[in-house]
Structure 1
Amino acid sequence: MRGEYKVPGGKLVAVDVEEADGRLSSVAISGDFFLEPDAALEDIDGALVGMAATSTVAQLTQVVESVLHEGVTMVGFTPEAVAIAVRRALGHATRWEDHTFEIVHEGAESPAMHMALDEAMAEAVGAGTRAPTLRIWEWGAPAVVIGSFQSLRNEVDPEGAERHGITVVRRISGGGAMFIEPGNTITYSLTVPASLVEGLSFERSYAFLDDWVLGALSELGIQATYVPLNDIASPAGKIAGAAQKRLASGAVLHHVTMAYDIDADKMLEVLRIGREKMSDKGTKSANKRVDPLRSQSGMARADVIEAFKNHFRSRYATVDGAVTDAERARAAELVDLKFGTQEWTARVP
């Protein structure tokens, strides 16, 4: 059995394993990584032989680390990367290539409906009734989206929100507040089975699931990088923020909002915490725009989105898809019971 794992920003680790009586009877690690001294590779292979086929990534990582003496140097990979490749070989984890992804890009939705569609479609992925999905959002109204655990009163100025017609909604993932203006942001959700990030910590899974969009940005001439824990930035500054939720059903929801061309003055009138963050960056001038994607790519928003979709298609097996009637009905129910209610929006006052 063979498993592979490409380290985000690093090298490919491959492993061929044989299993007998519930244990690893043969292990051969290979890849385009760098390792010194050469004999360390045999030590790693030997350490893994005899491990239970049900061993976790943490257990496999620990046994690899146990044979790495002080003089061993690993470049482009880690003990954890070896462990993930082993788990994939044993069928406990999947690769991007094991899935066909739906790309869903439909018309504008209300902020509450977007929150609900995320949950409904993640439920469907977890239940196996939907393939892994990349969904591009179109916004029907300006909004502030706060994280699951944020304080409503600490994040949002209600007078500023009312003055600018801003709808405030709360999502199911953690992280910080997002200021949204239709046409001035790019938001997408990547919903995948948990097997794709099996064994990855939250931090590593952010980098893993953001890797494709870094490639898309590079094709547009933007040299973006992942900045732990959940940001994407270029030398000119922050481009995007991500948030993630792992559902008990077995799905992982990873969504990202990118600034295309945002009115910073308006944002500061609506987001309380934003005033401190922006003042730290020296952003105080009138009519300031936050426009990394527009200014750095020189492209229209719609063209940037098409470039993103085309890059995703070039990397993975994809089909064009749509929200199903059942998913839309479930989302409408979630709007009524949860995302459209003050009880949910103000659940952390």
Structure 2
Amino acid sequence: MAYQCRLLHTGYNNAFYNMGLDQAILEAVAEGSTIPTLRFYGWQPPAISIGYFQGMTEEVDLAACRKHGIDTVRRITGGGAVFHQSEVTYSMVLPLDHPLADQNILASYGRLCQGIVAGLARLGVSAEFAPINDIVAGGKKISGNAQTRKLGCILQHGTILLDVDVDLMFTLLRVPSEKARGKAIADVKERVTSLSRLLLRPVTFDEVSAALEAGFAEALNLEYRPQEPAETECVRAEELARTRFADEGWTLKR
């Protein structure tokens, strides 16, 4: 039996609206005004997001971000700091009592991330789930994912790297010393890859979004209802962007 799923392609937005819309969708699914939802999106301008439990000033060089025109935002999900630049981001929201929503968090990651694995296979990339919440290809990380459970729902979102500028990333993230910075850059270049590196060609946002859309449908047996976000969700996303995600009280709260 196929599972009905709303499909949203919302293109590029700033970090605050992106996080606001993820939460607005979570609230809409929770109240029953819409069905489980899969969304694909990008970030413009580029941004760094930190996990809910992290401290912004400990993780991120805010002055460097301002210099480079990089937004900074706190997610409602856990996990570490993420540099959002050349990537496709997805979010999936479904009720906790949905057949695809495992109660065990590790099992839940493993199941939902199969959509990414199947999508990458359509691009010719062999990948696998690496617990707790990563996807690896050729032994290197290509996707990181984060999850929260609120209002009787799961929100899982994650990134699939089209390309990665590790040197820029480490001018934006805090590391203890210049010596540590060099080691950290070398370490990440060894551990992290991207689709353009694996395929030895440039890849586009639209190409990868289409592959992931097909992959999620295949792996999770989804039957899509392509839509636009409801006007109420957009209004709520704008409100959350303004009053929470762009607010220093939220961003610097830890």
| Fold conserved between structures, TM > 0.5 | yes
Displacement of 1:295 in angstroms is 2.1
In structure 2, the partner of 1:111 is 15
2:129 paired with 1:226:
yes
Contact 1:109 1:140 in 2 (8 A): yes
Corresponding letter in the other structure for 1:153:
T
State the superposition RMSD in angstroms: 2.3
Displacement of 1:316 in angstroms is 1.7
Task: Give the match's secondary structure for 1:174.
Answer: coil
Task: Give the counterpart of 2:149 among 246, 270, 293.
Answer: 246
Farther off after superposition, 208-217 or 293-302: 293-302
Q: Residues 218-256 of structure 1: CA distance to partner in whole angstroms, max 9, x if unpaired?
A: 222212111111111112411011000101x22110001
Q: Which has the larger radius of gyration?
A: 1
2:220 paired with 1:317:
no
Corresponding letter in the other structure for 1:170:
R
Contact 2:16 2:242 in 1 (8 A): no
In structure 2, the partner of 1:192 is 94
Contact 1:154 1:273 in 2 (8 A): no
Q: Alignment length, in residue pairs?
A: 246
Displacement of 1:112 in angstroms is 0.2
Contact 1:103 1:321 in 2 (8 A): yes
Task: Give the match's secondary structure for 2:147.
Answer: strand
In structure 1, the partner of 2:48 is 144
Task: Give the counterpart of 1:170 among 57, 65, 74.
Answer: 74
Displacement of 1:280 in angstroms is 5.0
Q: Residues 174-218 of structure 1: CA distance to partner in whole angstroms, max 9, x if unpaired?
A: 00111012xx11111011111135553111111111112111112
Task: Give the match's secondary structure for 1:103.
Answer: strand
Task: Give the counterpart of 2:163 among 257, 261, 266.
Answer: 261
In structure 1, the partner of 2:172 is 270
Displacement of 1:331 in angstroms is 1.2
In structure 1, the partner of 2:203 is 300
Displacement of 1:311 in angstroms is 2.8
Corresponding letter in the other structure for 1:255:
H
Corresponding letter in the other structure for 1:195:
D
- TM-score (normalizing by structure 2): 0.89
Give the whole-Å Cα distance in 2 for the aligned partners of 1:277 and 1:175.
Answer: 21
Structure 1 pair 284/206, CA: closer, same or farther in 2 (3 Å)?
Answer: closer
Give the whole-Å Cα distance in 2 for the aligned partners of 1:265 and 1:145.
Answer: 17
Q: Residues 109-162 of structure 1: CA distance to partner in whole angstroms, max 9, x if unpaired?
A: 111000110111001111111111110012221100011010111110122212
Percent identity reads 33
Q: Residues 254-281 of structure 1: CA distance to partner in whole angstroms, max 9, x if unpaired?
A: 0011221121111010012598598257
Task: Give the match's secondary structure for 2:236.
Answer: helix
Structure 1 pair 278/305, CA: closer, same or farther in 2 (3 Å)?
Answer: farther
Structure 2 unaligned blocks of 5 or more: none
In structure 2, the partner of 1:337 is 243
In structure 1, the partner of 2:59 is 155
In structure 1, the partner of 2:112 is 209
Give the whole-Å Cα distance in 1 for the aligned partners of 2:212 and 2:188.
Answer: 32
Task: Give the match's secondary structure for 1:262.
Answer: coil
Contact 2:120 2:215 in 1 (8 A): no
Displacement of 1:170 in angstroms is 0.5
Structure 1 unaligned blocks of 5 or more: 1-96
- TM-score (normalizing by structure 1): 0.66
Task: Give the match's secondary structure for 1:282.
Answer: helix
Q: Residues 42-72 of structure 1: CA distance to partner in whole angstroms, max 9, x if unpaired?
A: xxxxxxxxxxxxxxxxxxxxxxxxxxxxxxx
Displacement of 1:313 in angstroms is 3.6
Task: Give the counterpart of 2:27 among 123, 128, 138.
Answer: 123
Point out which structure has higher relative CO (alpha carbons under 8 A, 6+ apart).
2
Matches within 5 A, 1:6-21: none
